[in-house]
Amino acid sequence: MEADLRLAHLYPKLMNLYGDRGNILCLRRRCQQRGIALTVDELELGDTLDPNAYDLIFMGGAQDREQRRVAEDLLETKAEALHQAVAEGVVLLAVCGGYQLLGRYYRPAAGEELAGVGIFDAWTEHPGADVKRFIGNVVVRWQGGTLVGFENHGGRTYLEPGARPLATVISGFGNNGRDGSEGAMQGENAFGTYLHGSLLPKNPRFADHLIAQALKRRHSEVALSPLDDALEERAHAEAVGLAKKKLGFLRR
């Protein structure tokens, strides 16, 4: 396959909890194995985003201190371009803190509310430092099967009518521990989630879903050749199996 893609990695130094950079490595590897050239540009504080230059955009998670620094920069230097890119079909994946900052706002446990970019029709608030964090392995049901990952967040995210859940929780907490939703989709090309781990190496079908969408936008219809995902699928299956054992324990 002769094709190329370009990805913008937002704030890789500040927003990189629990191996989020592994998502970039996974996308690069899966593209390389198919002969697809993937160029990755790292955009930090002060760097502008060209909405016409990229096919994919990724943003990982961070603690509240880093999120405060990033929130201001997002609004000042990248918000308008992000909206334009998503509106024009660029594939966006935002994990945890990135997911929160791309909603309407994030209200942390302490300090001032952080205005969000508003890519996702959602908002997040932290109920307080003395409230239980959502920590542990997660399995969710996605349109392409199941997704597995690890969550660690105090914020509770609630979706408004303009967004829909990325998935429904099988085991774990998800967006808020109440409504069974995990993550968000805005349109067909913007995805937010709390799943770390990294997310994509254990979920090759989701990784390919992102690649296929980006290729379709850039090169029209381009079929992805199959890869040997035996190791990835085994890791995925083991995570699902552990979740089922946990559910069985909780139900006894």
**HSE (side-chain half, CA atoms, 13 Å) at 140:** 32
Is 31 known to be catalytic? no
Contact in structure between 56 and 89 (CB atoms under 8 Å): no
Task: Report how far residue 103's alpha carbon sits from residue 97's, in angstroms, rounded to the nearest whole number.
Answer: 10
Half-sphere exposure of 131 (CA within 13 A, CB side): 14
Instruction: Tell me the backbone φ, ψ of residue 77, rounded to 5 degrees.
Output: -120, -15
Catalytic residue from among 9, 126, 153, 196: 196
Cα–Cα distances in angstroms (integers) from residue 148 to residues 5, 129, 196, 200, in the given order:
26, 27, 9, 9
Indicate if 96 belongs to the active site.
yes
Positive or negative: CA dihedral 115, 47, 39, 5: positive
Of 96, 126, 153, 236, catalytic:
96
The number of angstroms, rounded, from the C-alpha of 110 to the middle of its chain's C-alpha atoms is 25
Which residues belong to the active site? Answer: 96, 196
